[in-house]
């Protein structure tokens, strides 16, 4: 276990490792935003069914995700390029939303079939389906965004930072 921690620590001290860590933290932030909004609009307030609730929650979470990924994870500044950055980012985000809507709808149907009078259980199923759908796309998005924001590849032969005392 300690060898894994040392390897992760060393990876973190590389440009690629820092980028991966920041991308992960942006994903954590956007997931928290999405789950919170979905839990409120679908679970607590029951404003909409699972489809508009999931769509709304994910659109809300995608806005800060774009700006945090662009500026913090990939270090880009200035105006965004519509064709090379914004459209591909939203295209992947919409693909994730569609997958999320499909899984959330199926989760709600399962919830109705098995837990007809338990809205809380159906809410947990819909939230879980939403998380699963975006988890599936997480690695693909990292690889695409890494190319999308024109980040120079890290020299794999470069020496890692020595963190030994």
157 found inside a domain: no
74 found inside a domain: yes
153 found inside a domain: no
Cα–Cα distance between 104 and 112 in angstroms, integer?
12
162 found inside a domain: no
**What is the number of structural domains in the chain?**
1
pLDDT of residue 96: 82
69 found inside a domain: yes
38 found inside a domain: yes
Cα–Cα distance between 129 and 9 in angstroms, integer?
32
Cα–Cα distance between 66 and 60 in angstroms, integer?
11
- Please provide the average confidence, as pLDDT, over all residues in the chain: 81
pLDDT of residue 160: 41
Cα–Cα distance between 130 and 34 in angstroms, integer?
9
DSSP-assigned letter for residue 162: P
64 found inside a domain: yes
- pLDDT tens, position by position, 87-139: 888 888 888 888 888 888 888 888 888 877 778 888 888 888 878 887 777 77
Q: What residues make up the domain containing 142?
A: 2-148
At CA 30, angle to CA 1 and CA 132, rounded to 5? 65
């Amino acid at each position: 276990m300690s060898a894994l921690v040392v390897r992760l620590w060393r990876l973190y001290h590389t440009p690629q490792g820092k980028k991966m860590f920041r991308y992960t933290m942006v994903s954590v932030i956007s997931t928290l935003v999405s789950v919170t909004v979905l839990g409120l609009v679908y679970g607590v307030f029951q404003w909409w069914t699972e489809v508009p609730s999931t769509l709304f929650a994910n659109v809300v979470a995608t806005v800060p995700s774009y700006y945090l990924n662009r500026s913090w994870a990939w270090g880009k500044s200035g105006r965004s390029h519509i064709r090379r950055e914004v459209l591909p980012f939203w295209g992947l985000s919409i693909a994730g939303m569609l997958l999320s809507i499909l899984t959330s709808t199926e989760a709600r149907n399962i919830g109705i079939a098995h837990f007809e009078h338990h809205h809380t259980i159906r809410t947990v199923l819909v939230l879980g389906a939403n998380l699963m759908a975006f988890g599936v796309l997480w690695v693909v998005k990292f690889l695409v965004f890494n190319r999308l924001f024109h980040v120079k590849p890290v020299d794999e032969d470069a020496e890692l930072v020595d963190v030994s005392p």
